[in-house]
Structure 1
Amino acid sequence: MIATGCPPDTVIYQRIIHQLFAKGKGAEALRVFSEIKLRGYDIDRITYTTVIDGLCKLHRIGEAQKMWDEMVSRGIEPNEYAYCSLVDYYCKAGDFEKAHKVYEEMLEKGMKQSTVSCNIFISGFCVHGMVDKAVGVFDEMVTNGIEHDDFTYNTLIQGLCKVGKLAQAIGMYERLLSSGLEATLPTFTPLIDAMCQEGQVDAAVDLITLMQAKGLEPLVRSNDSIINGFCRISRPDSGMAWLAGMLKRNIKPQRRTFNSLVESLSTSGQLNDALLVLNIMFKVGSELGTFACTTLVNCLCTGNVSYSQKLDDILVSN
């Protein structure tokens, strides 16, 4: 554009800077920012905020703070987005003292508590396992009449599931539905994982059925959770049935899931099925783990010779 005599305007420069930061190209973004200065463009609040946010996302907080100071020294007051960029960085870094200090300054400047700023604290607390504090922020939002969005609920559901508070997570899921919001893949996935961990596999299957009725396909990880969950509660037959459904949909389970199923079938004495799964594993390019292999061999040693011969045939052919 410059070569044709039509240099970019400030808005185009802002977009270029944003895209460069989004691609992790911080040095290039700062070079463009310097070019704006050299060309005598008026650097406004949006441009500074774009740079500050980009630097924070690249964990370059020292440079972000210098850019902040430069902006303020030029008489440009930071907006809510700029404040939230710093708060988000400090929350993700686990420095909640600094996050609160910046947040309090934002409120003192007359900016209001918002869904975005509350979500930042909820996310930060959940990432660092401080779920009770995250729920406290949620309750504060209710008290202050601040709207919850799907990010609020999904973040809390994931955080609660992560620390083993499944009952609370289900309660949060029910509140999401009662608020009129739609449950999405990020809502269902942690619930399915947690239910399978807690042995509530049939409830997890019901959730997947509900997802599919809404046109949502579960992640491979969720399917794996179902099979591992069935194995955990000694229902390898159900695990095999789920595996068959996955293969029909051309979904390949993870290696850990195959091994879990082989081990569970072997332990329950279903050696023909264990060998069948083993054969499928090899055909889809997966490998048998040491522990599952040991369990299978030990069980075969207590069975008849024909099982051992089948294992030999599978190993030789693969």
Structure 2
Amino acid sequence: MLIFLLRRLMQACFVMVIISVISFSIQDKLGDPVQQMVAMTVSPEERNKLRNELGLNDGFFVQYWRFAKGAVQGDLGTSYYYKEPTLDVILEKLPATLELALCAIIIVILVATPCGVLAAIKPKHILSRLLMVISSIGLSVPIFIIAILMVYIFSIELNMVPSFGRGQTTEVFGLWESGLVTKDGLKHLLLPSLSLAIALMPIFVRLIRAEMMEVLQSEYIRFAWSKGLSAPRIYFVHALKNTMLPVITVGGIQAGTLVAYTILTETIFQWPGMGFLFMDAVSRVDTPLVSAYLIVVGGIFVITNTLVDLIYGLVNPTVRLASHGL
């Protein structure tokens, strides 16, 4: 276990260095931040003076070395727009994104698991066939189309839930502002989290169905039937446990991807999270904030993948974790 963790830590450091280089190198491609910071009447001399003060006229390697030294100490730069450390700005928006992603994952688990099991147990049942048709359609529909339809149906036509904003929030344990503990916050959370869940659900329904149908044909399941075990125990204890191994792997990747998916969802629903912050940073050419966002998201991916490997070994103790670190 220790060797595995050390290998994963080395891999994580290497991946983060690559991410930092890529995220820093695209800054010049976003535009001139000075143009966004000053008025049109400012002279070229004053603009160039500001560029020198910000270090924008230095060479790439000089700028990156300065950035890397600060990043090692937890300083990812200062936002041009907010005039605050970029990491502080991102961490302020992080709870909203994590709450959105967490609720979407819970919905996916509660809905996709029984649907996938049902489709595997009774593949020829009309309900199973209907689930497969719906999941096929769901895979081909972009997430922004789903979000726009949700707003049109439930907010505009039915006027059931609000379509934008985070709603009322309350401080939780003195650490962050949360909408999960207020009725208004939950109503605002419903549509964006449901949109994310609907976008991910077809993948898991089809994956659980395919894996469980394969597991149900294995010898130990036949042996369990011959022992006279009950159907629920065979399906939900013996079969489902081994079905979840590849699901956990895909789920871990999708959980990290979920943070990236929230960019579109947060923009449509005006959800004040990291994704909405990133789009604002791009439009304002706030390059330090854009780079910091990409690094934080990359870190979330690395941490998620490491946790997936650990959980994979807990679900199936026969898996050698060391082999996954190669």
Q: Do they fold alike, i.e. is TM over 0.5?
A: no
Band of TM-score, shorter chain? under 0.3
Greater relative contact order: 1 or 2 (C-alpha under 8 angstroms, separation 6 or more)? 2
TM-score (norm 2): 0.21
Say which one has the larger Rg.
1
